[in-house]
A and B are shown apart, each in its own frame.
Chain A
Amino acid sequence: MVTKFSLVILLLSILCISSASAEGASASMLADTCLGCHGPDGISQGPATPTISGMSELYIIGAMLAYKFGDDEDKVDEIIEADEDLIDVEYFARSSTVMDRIAQGYSVAEIKLLAKHFAEIPFENAEQPANADQAKAGAALHETHCEKCHENGGSSAEDDAGVLAGQWAPFLKYTLDDYNSGDREMPKKMKKQMQEAHESAGDDAMRDLIQFYASQQ
C-alpha cells in the first residue's frame, strides 16, 4: 500500500516536472524581459548599465546565482553539485541595486537558458570617451595584474571571467569600488593582484584600469 502510494506520488511528481519544463518560457522569451534595461540584443546604450551579451555562459550563471542566493554559499554549492552543467561555475557573492531583486524571479533552469542565450550574442564595445594617458598606464597595470585571468586585454569571454574591455566606465567603477570596499567578494588570486596594483600605482590604479578598459572601442 505504502509503496503503491509512493509510486503514485513519484509518477505524479515526474509528470509535474516534465509538464513544467515542456511549458516553460523559451530562452528568447525570457531574454526579452532583460532588454528594456540592458538594451536591444543585450548591448547596453549606457551610461551605466552593463552589456550582458558576449559574456561567458558560466560567468553569467555565476553572477545570477550570486544575485539570487546572496551569500548563502551552502545553497549554491548544493545547486552546483546537483547539476553537472554547473560544475565549473565559480561563485562569489556580489552586491547590486536591482539585480538581487530581479534574480528572485528566475529559476536556475531559466538562468541557464538566459546565460546560453546571451553568451551566443557577440559583445559590442561601448562608445565612450577615455583618457589616453590614463589608459596607457592602465594597460600596463592590466598586463601585470589582470591579464592572466582577464585575457586579451580583458576582452575574452573564453576565460570565464567577466568581459571588461569595452564595458561602460561607470559600471566598471561601481564594480571595482565594491571589490575594494568588500561589498563584492574577490577570488583569492584577484585579491592579491588588486593589492599589488594599489601598491604599485596608488590611488590612480583603479582609475587607470577603468580608462584602459573604456578606451577599447
Chain B
Amino acid sequence: MTNLNRRSFLKATSGAIATSGLSFPFIANAKNKRVVVVGGGVGGLIAAKYIAKGDSSIEVTIVEPKAHHHTCFMSNEVIGGDRDISTIKFGYDNLASHGIKLVQDKATMIDAEAHKVMTAGGTTLEYDRCVVSPGISLKFSAIEGYSEEAAEIMPHSWIAGKQTALLRSQLESMDDGGLVVIAPPQNPFRCPPGPYERAAQIAHHLKQNKPKSKLLIIDAKDKFSKQGLFMQGYKDVYGEMIEWVAGADTGGGIKSVDTKTMTVSTDFDEHKVAVANIIPPQQAAKVAQDSGLADDSGWCPVDLGTFESKQHKDIHVIGDASIAKGMPKSGFAAGTQAKVCAASVVSLLQGKDAPTASYANACYSLIAPDYGISVVAVYALAEDRSEIKKLGGGLTPMDATAEARAREVQYAYSWFNNMTAEMFG
C-alpha cells in the first residue's frame, strides 16, 4: 500500500467497482459543495464549525485578514485593568482539526452572480453558498473632527485589539482629577450595553487609582440597555463618580471633537477631557456595503429563518452586520444566528428545507469584580417571518442580593470561556 500512490489506488478501486457494478459515491460525485465564510469572529467561526460538523462533505473556507482575534467581550475588563489583554487574544490553529480551511486575507468583494469571493491578495474563491459575518464599520465622519487618525488620540475601542490597549494606557497615564468622557452612539450599534459596562470598568480603575477623577457619559440617546440596573450599580459602587447625560439634554450627544485641544462638544457645551472614548455610529462592514448586501440603513436585510440575504441569493449574512429584527447586536446573538444559519446552509445544500429555528441571547455586564448583571432571551421566528420573537427572558431583578450579583460575575466568566471554546476550540 505504501508504494501505491493515490491515483493508482483510485484506478484500482474504480476498476474493482466497475467489474462488480457497484456505484462509488465519492468518485461519482467528486465535486463537493463549497461554503466560503467571510469573517473570523463569533458568527463566522461558529457558522463554519457547525456547517463542517453538520455535513463533513461540505468544503468550508474562512476568509479572515487577521492572524489573531481579540474578543470584544471582556475587553472592557482589560480597559478597567482587571484583565490582561493576552487573555482575550485567540488564534485560529484549531480550525484545521475541524476540516476548515483558513485563507488569511481580506475579502473585498462578493460577486453574487458569479458565486465568487474576491480578496485583497488577489485570490478568488468559488462558493455554492457564502456566509458573511464581517462585523461593523465605524462612521467616523458622523462626528466632526473625528477620523481613523483622530481615534489614535481619542480611541473608539469598539473593535478590540490595539484600540483596547490604547484606551487602557491612556487611563493609566492620565492625571488624577481629570475628566473621562464616553460618547455612545445612536441605535443600532454593536453591543448595546457595552458603553455602560465600560463606564463602570473605567470607574473601577479611577476609584482605585485616580479617585478625584470624574466620568461623564454624554449619550446620543435618551435611554439605554439595562439602564435601571446600570444606574443602580453606578450609585451602589461608584457613588457620584459616573454621570450620564441623556441625548435630549445636549441636542443629541457629542457632535464634534478636537484632538489638538482635547475638547469634545455637543450643540450646547464643550468639555476639556483627559481621556475621550468616542464611539461613532456604525453600519455593516465595508465588504457587505461594497457587495450590495446592505440597504439604505447601512445594515443587511435577511430572511430571519435562514439569514439568507434579501438582496442576493445564496449569500447569508449573520451577526452585527445583519438586520436580525427582534435581537440585539450581541456576540451571543451572532453565535446563535450562526447556528441557525449553519443548519439552514447544510439543509439547503442537501436539497432539503431549512429547519425550524430557535435562537437565544445571554449578555452579562460587569459593573465591579463582584457585581454582575445580565439580560437573557429565548426566541422563535414569527409565523410571518417578520421578526425574531421573544418567547421568554428578561433582566436581572433590581435590588438583587450581593450574593446573586457576585454569582453573575462567575457565570459571566464561564460564558466567556464557553463562548470562546465554541469559537476557537
B-binding residues in A (CB < 8 A): 23-26, 29-30, 32-40, 44-49, 97-98, 101-106, 168, 170, 174, 177
Contact = CB atoms under 8 A, between A and B. Distances in A.
A168 B358 CA distance: 28
27 contacts: A25-B355, A25-B356, A32-B336, A33-B339, A33-B358, A36-B332, A36-B360, A36-B362, A37-B418, A38-B418, A40-B418, A44-B414, A45-B417, A45-B418, A49-B415, A49-B418, A101-B392, A101-B395, A102-B362, A103-B392, A104-B378, A104-B394, A105-B360, A105-B377, A105-B379, A106-B378, A170-B410
B414 A33 contact: no
Interface in B401-418: 403-404, 407-408, 410-411, 413-415, 417-418
Contacts of B391: 104-106
Closest 7 CB pairs of A and B: A105-B378, A104-B392, A105-B392, A49-B414, A48-B410, A33-B360, A45-B417
Contact of B335 (A36, A45, A47): A36
A149 to B, nearest CB: 25
Nearest to B418: A39
Interface string B383-397: 000000011111110
Contacts of B394: 101, 104
A37 B392 contact: no
B379 A36 contact: no
B242 interface: no
Contacts of B355: 25-26, 29
A34 to B, nearest CB: 8
B419 interface: yes
A40 B421 contact: yes
A101 B404 CA distance: 14
B393 A97 contact: no
Contacts of B417: 39, 44-47
B194 to A, nearest CB: 17
Contacts of B403: 177
Contact of A97 (B374, B377, B380): B374
Given A36-B419, A98-B374, A47 B413 contact: yes
A214 B379 CA distance: 35
Interface of B: 50, 332, 335-336, 339-340, 343, 355-360, 362, 374, 376-380, 390-396, 403-404, 407-408, 410-411, 413-415, 417-419, 421-422, 425
B356 A32 contact: no
Given A25-B357, A102-B376, A105-B377, 5 more contacts: A29-B356, A32-B50, A48-B410, A101-B394, A177-B403
Contacts of B404: 97
A23 to B, nearest CB: 5
B167 to A, nearest CB: 27
Given A37-B411, A174-B407, A32 B418 contact: no
Contacts of B418: 35-40, 44-45, 49
Contacts of B360: 33-34, 36, 102, 105
A38 B415 CA distance: 7
Contact of B358 (A25, A46, A102): A25
A36, A44, A102 — most chain B CB neighbours (10 Å): A36
A98 B410 contact: no
A68 to B, nearest CB: 9
Contacts of A49: 411, 414-415, 418
B336, B359, B390, B414 — most chain A CB neighbours (10 Å): B414
Contact of B356 (A24, A103, A104): A24
B343 A45 contact: no
Contacts of B332: 36
A30, A46, A48 — most chain B CB neighbours (10 Å): A48
Given A40-B422, A101-B394, A106-B392, A33 B410 contact: no
Contacts of B335: 36
Given A29-B340, A102-B376, A39 B421 contact: yes
A30, A35, A97, A103 — most chain B CB neighbours (10 Å): A97
Nearest to B400: A97
Nearest to A103: B392
B422 A97 contact: no
A205 B374 CA distance: 32
Contacts of B422: 35-36, 39-40
A101 B414 contact: no
A3 to B, nearest CB: 30
B144 to A, nearest CB: 39
A117 to B, nearest CB: 12
A23 B355 CA distance: 8
A36 B412 CA distance: 11
Contacts of B380: 25
B3 to A, nearest CB: 41
A22 B282 CA distance: 40
Nearest to B335: A36
A140 B339 CA distance: 45
Nearest to B374: A98
B205 to A, nearest CB: 23
B331 to A, nearest CB: 9
Nearest to B407: A97
B378 A26 contact: no
A155 B68 CA distance: 39
A42 B377 CA distance: 19
B4 to A, nearest CB: 38
B362 A98 contact: yes
Contact of A32 (B339, B414, B419): B339
